[in-house]
Amino acid sequence: MENCRQVFVFALAWFCLPMLMARIPEEPAVPNQMVTTESTVIASTSATSELMYPPQNGPCFYATPEMCSDSLIHDPKYQVANCECRLHPVIPRSLICCNVTNLTNITSCQEPDSSEHWKNIHVRNASLEELDISNGFWKLFDSISITDGTLKRITREFTKFSATKCFNVSNNNLNEIQPRGFKNLMQLQVLDISYNNLSTIPNINKETNLTIDIRGNKDMLCKSVSETIDKGGLELNFVEPDKTYCLTNQTFNWFNSTDSVPLRQLYRMKQLQSECPTDCKCEVERMNYEQQNDEDGIPLLIFSAKVDCSNSHLTELPEKLPANTYSLNVSCNNITSLSALNVNPTYQQIIRLYADNNQISSLLDLEGTSFIEEFEVLSLRKNKLKSIPIYLLSNTLDKNPRGKMLYFEGNKLHCDCNSAKVLR
């Protein structure tokens, strides 16, 4: 390591450029639809796919606004004893509750047949501030939707053995959900808490495969999203991860800022460690805004990664690097070739390479690579280089010498008057 710290710089130029902004492939646009109506998108690095949840055939029961029309509300065929809710005209054992001002006007609904329980409920436009989910009335519903109202708080916990598969409280004024409120929802498949004022995601049962919609919560913290992703055994799918953002606030350990990060980028940052080569350390290096050619025209905050594989007993460059890797350190190994920069697609974004104290004897592997055209730093101190291909460096340095730094100290270079003149 001491040899690696000895610095003698043979610099062809000494200027600093801002780091090139990270690029990610464009991915298919996803329709802006709620999880309870049409589709969801799985957050991953692969092309987006859809999980179809039609209004009445999936886990979520959804009553359209038209279901709250006066004609249906006052139709005696759909009356329910002792409550303000009405039967759905088509879907059996399903309640529609409109403009409710008191929870008891819902929880007092009596089932028409005592041998069967209610299956679905959608409460629209309720003027309620608080929802106590420990009430046994909610326990047997497959789908619970309370949307487009004034709800601010969800208190207490669902009771044990609750059957709920879909819980939708979108388009309210929610700013608080009891952290352990959903721990007993062992069958939960869809959680829609979109378009509220939430900053955290409540705890989810770790055995649950969950589709979750958190769009429209402008104060949602990346720390909370990250902790949710990290829960053991949780297979988590986010709706529209490219258009859902979280805040990297001052208490988050990645960035000292309040920038908004798209969830897909958050996933990619979380994947760094799983994609990191063995015995290497991978870190998010910095973020850059990149203008996207989407319909919104909103710049996305894109991360770049640095990989440190120094002192890892390598005899060749790592087989694969994480996405968006711009800086690679493989110093103090036994690497003999740089051919991966020519043939390995995961090396295409490298612009800073530190490979001091290795066994590299030639730069010819760099000919024709994007690296030799775009590099900012090439550090090959204390290797086995005997000559430097003048034409290789001249082709790129003549075009744009600014910001390019070369470190060759400790190589036994053959130097004649011609090469010295050109290299200077």
Confidence of residue 292 (pLDDT cuts 50, 70, 90): low
State residue 49's pLDDT score: 30
Note the pLDDT of residue 175: 96
Convert the pLDDT of each residue in 336-362 to its tens digit: 999 999 999 999 999 999 999 999 999
Phi/psi for 158 (5° steps) reads -60, 145
Residue with tokens 């055995």: 207
What lies within 8 Å, CB to CB, of 41 at 6+ separation is 30, 48, 49, 50, 237, 238, 239, 240, 241
The residues, any chain, with a CB within 8 Å of residue 46's CB and separated by 6 or more, are none
Superfamily designation of domain 282-421: Ribonuclease Inhibitor (3.80.10.10)
Query: Residue 44 and residue 34: Cα distance in Å, rounded?
Result: 19
What are the residue ranges of helices labelled H in 250-343? 263-275, 340-343
pLDDT per residue over 159-181, tens digit each?
999 999 999 999 999 999 999 99
Which segments of the chain belong to CATH 3.80.10.10? Answer: 65-274, 282-421
Whole-number percent of the chain with pLDDT over 70: 77
Stated length of the chain: 424
The average confidence (pLDDT) of the chain is: 80
pLDDT in tens, 10-65: 333 333 323 322 222 333 333 333 333 322 222 222 322 333 333 444 689 999 99
Give the pLDDT of residue 9: 35
Residue pair 214/244 in contact by the 8 Å Cβ criterion: yes
The CATH classification number of 65-274 equals 3.80.10.10
DSSP-assigned beta bridge partners for residue 98: 124
Is it the case that residue 311 has pLDDT exceeding 90? yes
Max mean pLDDT range (47-61, 251-265, 300-314): 300-314
Q: How far is 306 from 21, CA to CA, in rounded Å?
A: 14
At 1, the pLDDT band (50, 70, 90 cuts) reads very low
Q: What is the pLDDT of residues 365-376, one digit of tens each?
A: 999 899 998 899
Least confident window among 175-184, 237-246, 320-329: 237-246
Q: Span 326-335, mean pLDDT?
A: 97
Taking alpha carbons only, the member of 331, 388, 379 closest to residue 351 is 379
- In this structure, what DSSP letter does residue 76 have? G
- Report the pLDDT averaged over residues 125-149: 95
User: How confident is the model over 83-95, as pLDDT tens digits?
Assistant: 889 999 889 999 9
**Which pLDDT score, from 0 to 100, does residue 208 have?**
67
Which residue shows structure tokens 């090396």? Answer: 347
pLDDT for residue 100 is more than 50: yes
User: Bridge partners of 176?
Assistant: 153
208-227 pLDDT per residue, tens? 688 999 999 999 998 899 88
- Quick one: pLDDT at residue 188? 93
The amino acid at residue 106 is: I
Give the integer Cα–Cα distance in Å for 202 and 193: 10
Is the per-residue pLDDT at 420 higher than 80? no
